[in-house]
Chain A
């Protein structure tokens, strides 16, 4: 749990500013999105396995791997959301005398937020599900529980662990979905 939350926070911390600053850059944006698209096709287990020789086992490599996993959905949706702001709206904002910073704060982000948020939601589910695998490299958590059961061939314990992970992912997903709806609602309604 802590591992997942930390990884998500780190991913947000990296993906949001980078995606935001590159959303309107030409070449750099293509490179960044290309890199992310490539990263996306590497399976999470492979990422975890790659971490082993690089950072060893334990919390740190799991954290890095999960962060890497969470970045693409957040980055892609941030890019989508910001670029989805109609050109006429930005043009009007500029013509009215908003600074670039004010346009970002009052126009771009409010309009992009629902899409950014659904990216965060996707990332959360992926991270929780993959955190299980972190058990393989000593990341701890529910994953360890599942893996120990697997090793000991303890079917009931295994199912218990798996169900726990599934429940957790589902819970996170539905609560975030609810939050997303309420975001979209307040953003699209006059306060």
Chain B
């Protein structure tokens, strides 16, 4: 039960929420441990209580039962404003302040925390670069002078301004087109890697969840239906509900979670002995997903070379891909 840097960043115990005049719980007794540095995705259909659960963590919603800890302390111990200034929060509608420049939007929390002005200015530029917006071009713009995707980048920068240890994201990319969404997902993964921030991310988009999560929490009617790694949830759906929701029978979807590195047949010796002639022309990177490998195999050859740092480290055939898929079910 230790809560150091490696302990739980967020811990929920039997958390239940009921809105006034509702006849049932929006969240009905949820237990959840999120280790520091994790990327946890809450997945479920509309109305299953994802947002409600997320909002109990920064006390925008008060549970009538249960306990919530962030960074080892109960959220009811500090006043709500102090708590929220230490937790990043990003919503689908972004909610930038329309009368304030990009820089002033990002500066809101540091200002509330009374950082010195030069530290704030430096932090604003640092964050704009983190979300890949040129500070010189964007600093003084107003929100209405930004595209939807740019607005959400600023929303993320604003949430990260005071270096929160935990970041809550509620369907942050639900309102942008598919191409922008993919690039924002990539940025989010990169930011997660670089900063090590614990992220709780809400979505009802299965592919988004599989892409981002190192743990997926599947919700149904206010309860957790299954909680596990993407691969685990896909390979071993706990209930028919999870299976249907994730379309877990889809083998190709599962392949997108496996990597060439983990399935390859190692090259023996320095030579290419054993590899069929003609197959050597086709190669994939060790980090490629088996889904990519499968499409290479279908298009080009019976086996492909796996390369890493320009060196050939093994081969993959249809049989190897299939074996990896079967192994993932165990």
Which residues in A have some Cβ–Cβ distance to B below 8 Å?
A: 86-99, 102, 106-107, 110-111, 187-190
Known: A95-B60, A96-B158, A97-B84. A88 touches B94 (CB 8 A): yes
Known: A88-B91, A188-B142, A190-B140. A96 touches B96 (CB 8 A): no
Q: In the assembled complex, which residues on chain B have CB atoms less than 8 Å from the CB atom of A111?
A: 98-99
How many whole Å from B317's CB to the nearest CB in chain A? 51
Q: Is the CB of B60 within 8 A of A96?
A: no
Q: Is the CB of B112 within 8 A of A97?
A: yes
C-alpha gap A187/B98 in the complex (Å) = 10
Q: In the assembled complex, which residues on chain A have CB atoms less than 8 Å from the CB atom of B155?
A: 92
C-alpha gap A19/B80 in the complex (Å) = 27
Q: In the assembled complex, which residues on chain A have CB atoms less than 8 Å from the CB atom of B58?
A: 95
Q: Is the CB of A96 within 8 A of B99?
A: no
Which single residue of chain B is at the shortest CB-CB distance from A184? B99
Q: Is the CB of A190 within 8 A of B104?
A: yes
Q: Is the CB of B82 within 8 A of A93?
A: no
- 26 example contacts (A-B, Cβ-Cβ < 8 A) are as follows A86-B93, A90-B95, A91-B60, A91-B93, A91-B95, A92-B91, A92-B95, A92-B155, A94-B84, A95-B58, A95-B91, A96-B89, A97-B85, A97-B86, A98-B112, A99-B81, A102-B112, A106-B97, A111-B98, A111-B99, A187-B99, A188-B142, A190-B100, A190-B101, A190-B103, A190-B140
How many whole Å from A97's CB to the nearest CB in chain B? 4
How many whole Å from B10's CB to the nearest CB in chain A? 16
Q: Is the CB of A96 within 8 A of B91?
A: no
Partner of A96, one of B93, B103, B109, B142: B109
Partner of A89, one of B83, B85, B96, B112: B96
Q: In the assembled complex, which residues on chain A have CB atoms less than 8 Å from the CB atom of B94?
A: 88, 92
C-alpha gap A97/B108 in the complex (Å) = 9
C-alpha gap A91/B96 in the complex (Å) = 10
C-alpha gap A94/B84 in the complex (Å) = 8
Q: Is the CB of B89 within 8 A of A98?
A: no
Known: A88-B91, A88-B93. A95 touches B98 (CB 8 A): no
Q: Is the CB of A97 within 8 A of B142?
A: no
